[in-house]
A and B are shown apart, each in its own frame.
Chain A
Amino acid sequence: MSPIDSPLRWRYLHEVLTKPGPFSDEDWIPGPETISALESSKVLVIGAGGLGCEILKNLALSGFKDIHVIDMDTIDISNLNRQFLFRHSDIGKPKAEVAAAFVERRVKGVSITPFVGKIQDKDEDYYMQFKIIVCGLDSIEARRWINATLIGMVDPEDPESLKPLIDGGTEGFKGQARVILPTLSSCIECQLDMHAPRPAVPLCTIATIPRQPQHCIEWAHQIAWQEHRKDDAFDSDDMEHIGWVYNEAHERAKQFNIHGVTFQMTQGVVKNIIPAIASTNAVIAAATTSEALKIATSCNPYLENYMMYAGEEGVYTYTFEAEKKSDCPVCGNLARKMTVNPKMTLEEFIETIGERPEAQLKKPSLRTEEKTLYQRFPPQLEEQTRANLKRSIRELVDDGEEIAVSDPAYTIDFRYRLIFS
Chain B
Amino acid sequence: MTEAFPSTLVGPSSKERKYDRQLRLWAASGQKALEESRVLLVNSDGPWGDQSTGVSGVVGVETLKNLVLPGVGGFTIVDPAVVTEPDLGVNFFLEEESLGKSRAEETCRLLRELNPDVEGSFQTQSILELIQQDPEFLPRYKLVLVSGPIKHSSLDALCSAARELNIPVLYTRSVGFYSTFSLQLPATFPIVETHPDPETTQDLRLLNPWPELTEATTRVENLEGLDDHQHGHVPYILLLLHYLDQWKESHGGNVPSNYKEKTEFREMVRSGARTSNPEGGEENYDEAVAAVLKSLNPFSLPSSLREIFEMEECKTPTPKSADFWIIASAVNEFYQQHKMLPLPGSLPDMKAQSADYISLQNIYKSKARRDVEEVTKYVRRVESQLGPRPIDIPDKDIEVFCKNAAHINVIHGRNIPQLNGDAPTLKSLGNNLSIPDSLVTVFIAFQILDGVVTDIQTRGQSGQSLDDEAAWSTQISRAIDEITSDGSQVLDDDCRERILEATQELRRTEGGELHNISSLTGGLVAQEALKVITRQYVPLNNTCVFDGVHSRSEMFKL
A22 to B95, CA, bound (A): 34
Docked-complex contact A313 and B538, CB < 8 angstroms: yes
Question: Looking at the complex, which one of A264, A280, A286, A315 makes contact with B516 (CB distance below 8 Å)?
Answer: A286
Contacts of B505 in A (CB 8 A): 21-23
Contacts of A192 in B (CB 8 A): none
Docked-complex contact B92 and A77, CB < 8 angstroms: no
Interface string of B1-30 (1 = CB under 8 A from A): 101011001111010111111111100000
Contacts of B350 in A (CB 8 A): 211
Docked-complex contact A212 and B18, CB < 8 angstroms: no
Nearest B residue (CB) for A307: B551
Can you give 19 A-B contacts (C-beta < 8 A)? A8-B85, A12-B89, A12-B90, A12-B510, A16-B177, A58-B515, A61-B516, A84-B65, A209-B352, A253-B5, A257-B358, A264-B12, A267-B12, A275-B21, A301-B549, A311-B524, A312-B538, A313-B194, A314-B538
Interface string of B523-549 (1 = CB under 8 A from A): 110111010000001111100100011
Contacts of A267 in B (CB 8 A): 12, 20
Contacts of B540 in A (CB 8 A): 314-315
A316: interface (CB < 8 Å) = yes
Question: Looking at the complex, which one of B16, B358, B544 makes contact with A264 (CB distance below 8 Å)?
Answer: B16
Nearest CB on B from A90, distance (A) = 12
Nearest B residue (CB) for A212: B349
Docked-complex contact A279 and B515, CB < 8 angstroms: no
A19: interface (CB < 8 Å) = yes
Nearest CB on B from A411, distance (A) = 29
- Given A16-B509, A19-B508, A173-B25, A279 contacting B358 (CB threshold 8 A): no
Docked-complex contact A279 and B530, CB < 8 angstroms: yes
Interface string of A96-111 (1 = CB under 8 A from B): 0000000000111000
Q: Among residues 352 to 386 in chain A, which have CB atoms less than 8 Å away from a CB atom of chain B?
A: none
B66: interface (CB < 8 Å) = yes
Most chain B CB atoms below 10 A, which of A80, A107, A256: A80
Docked-complex contact B523 and A279, CB < 8 angstroms: yes
Given contacts A61-B515, A263-B12, A282-B523, list 6 more A-B pairs with CB under 8 A.
A16-B177, A78-B17, A81-B19, A283-B520, A313-B194, A313-B538
Contacts of A276 in B (CB 8 A): 21-22
A258 to B354, CA, bound (A): 9
Contacts of A317 in B (CB 8 A): 551-553
- Given A11-B512, A77-B14, A16 contacting B176 (CB threshold 8 A): yes
Interface string of A231-269 (1 = CB under 8 A from B): 000000001000100110010011011110001100110
What total of A-B pairs shows CB separation below 8 Å? 253
Interface string of B164-177 (1 = CB under 8 A from A): 00000000000011
Docked-complex contact A61 and B358, CB < 8 angstroms: no
A259 to B357, CA, bound (A): 12
A311 to B510, CA, bound (A): 30
For chain B, give the interface size range.
35 or more
Contacts of A21 in B (CB 8 A): 177, 504-505, 508, 549
- A-B CB proximity, top 8 nearest: A12-B512, A282-B523, A286-B520, A283-B523, A61-B515, A279-B526, A290-B516, A8-B85
Nearest CB on B from A177, distance (A) = 7
Contacts of A106 in B (CB 8 A): 92, 95
Contacts of B66 in A (CB 8 A): 277-279, 282
Question: Looking at the complex, which one of B21, B349, B541 makes contact with A81 (CB distance below 8 Å)?
Answer: B21
Docked-complex contact B555 and A81, CB < 8 angstroms: no
B195: interface (CB < 8 Å) = yes
Contacts of B508 in A (CB 8 A): 15-16, 19, 21
A364 to B6, CA, bound (A): 62
Nearest CB on B from A330, distance (A) = 24
Docked-complex contact A256 and B3, CB < 8 angstroms: no
- Given A211-B358, A264-B16, A290-B517, A15 contacting B509 (CB threshold 8 A): yes
Docked-complex contact A316 and B555, CB < 8 angstroms: yes
Nearest CB on B from A225, distance (A) = 16
- Given A19-B508, A211-B354, A243-B9, A319 contacting B551 (CB threshold 8 A): yes
Contacts of B186 in A (CB 8 A): none
Question: Looking at the complex, which one of B69, B85, B527, B538 makes contact with A3 (CB distance below 8 Å)?
Answer: B85
Please give the residue numbers on chain B whose beta carbons come within 8 Å of chain A beta carbons, in ascending order: 1, 3, 5-6, 9-12, 14, 16-25, 56, 62, 65-66, 69-71, 84-86, 88-90, 92, 95-96, 99, 113-116, 176-177, 194-195, 233, 349-350, 352-355, 357-358, 361, 501, 504-505, 508-510, 512-517, 519-520, 522-524, 526-528, 530, 537-541, 544, 548-553, 555
Contacts of A211 in B (CB 8 A): 349-350, 352, 354, 357-358, 361
Question: Looking at the complex, which one of A275, A287, A293, A303 makes contact with B22 (CB distance below 8 Å)?
Answer: A275
Nearest CB on B from A64, distance (A) = 11
Docked-complex contact A108 and B96, CB < 8 angstroms: yes
A291: interface (CB < 8 Å) = yes
Question: Looking at the complex, which one of B16, B515, B524 makes contact with A315 (CB distance below 8 Å)?
Answer: B524
A9: interface (CB < 8 Å) = yes
Docked-complex contact A279 and B527, CB < 8 angstroms: yes
Interface string of A27-71 (1 = CB under 8 A from B): 000000000000000000000000000100110011000000000
Contacts of B20 in A (CB 8 A): 78, 81, 264, 267, 273
Docked-complex contact B176 and A77, CB < 8 angstroms: no
A6: interface (CB < 8 Å) = yes
- Given A10-B89, A13-B514, A268-B24, A282 contacting B354 (CB threshold 8 A): no
Nearest CB on A from B281, distance (A) = 15
A147: interface (CB < 8 Å) = no
Docked-complex contact A312 and B519, CB < 8 angstroms: no
Nearest CB on A from B204, distance (A) = 16
Docked-complex contact A258 and B358, CB < 8 angstroms: yes
Contacts of A256 in B (CB 8 A): 354-355, 358
A279 to B25, CA, bound (A): 13
Contacts of A397 in B (CB 8 A): none
Nearest A residue (CB) for B553: A317
Docked-complex contact A314 and B89, CB < 8 angstroms: no
Docked-complex contact A77 and B18, CB < 8 angstroms: yes
Question: Looking at the complex, which one of A6, A62, A82, A243 makes contact with B69 (CB distance below 8 Å)?
Answer: A82
- Given A264-B20, A277-B21, A22 contacting B501 (CB threshold 8 A): yes
Contacts of B538 in A (CB 8 A): 312-314
A161: interface (CB < 8 Å) = no
Docked-complex contact B89 and A278, CB < 8 angstroms: no
A285: interface (CB < 8 Å) = yes
A186: interface (CB < 8 Å) = no
A247 to B8, CA, bound (A): 8
Contacts of B95 in A (CB 8 A): 106
A210: interface (CB < 8 Å) = yes
Docked-complex contact B549 and A15, CB < 8 angstroms: no
Contacts of A279 in B (CB 8 A): 66, 522-524, 526-527, 530
Contacts of A319 in B (CB 8 A): 550-552
Contacts of B176 in A (CB 8 A): 12, 16
Nearest CB on B from A185, distance (A) = 14
A61 to B58, CA, bound (A): 11
Contacts of A19 in B (CB 8 A): 508
A98 to B284, CA, bound (A): 53
A329: interface (CB < 8 Å) = no
A104 to B517, CA, bound (A): 21
A150 to B212, CA, bound (A): 62
Nearest A residue (CB) for B7: A250
Nearest B residue (CB) for A311: B527
Q: Among residues 90 to 148 in chain A, which have CB atoms less than 8 Å away from a CB atom of chain B?
A: 106-108
A281: interface (CB < 8 Å) = yes
Contacts of B358 in A (CB 8 A): 211, 256-258
A96 to B177, CA, bound (A): 29
Nearest A residue (CB) for B95: A106
A267 to B20, CA, bound (A): 10
Docked-complex contact A300 and B177, CB < 8 angstroms: yes
Nearest B residue (CB) for A265: B24
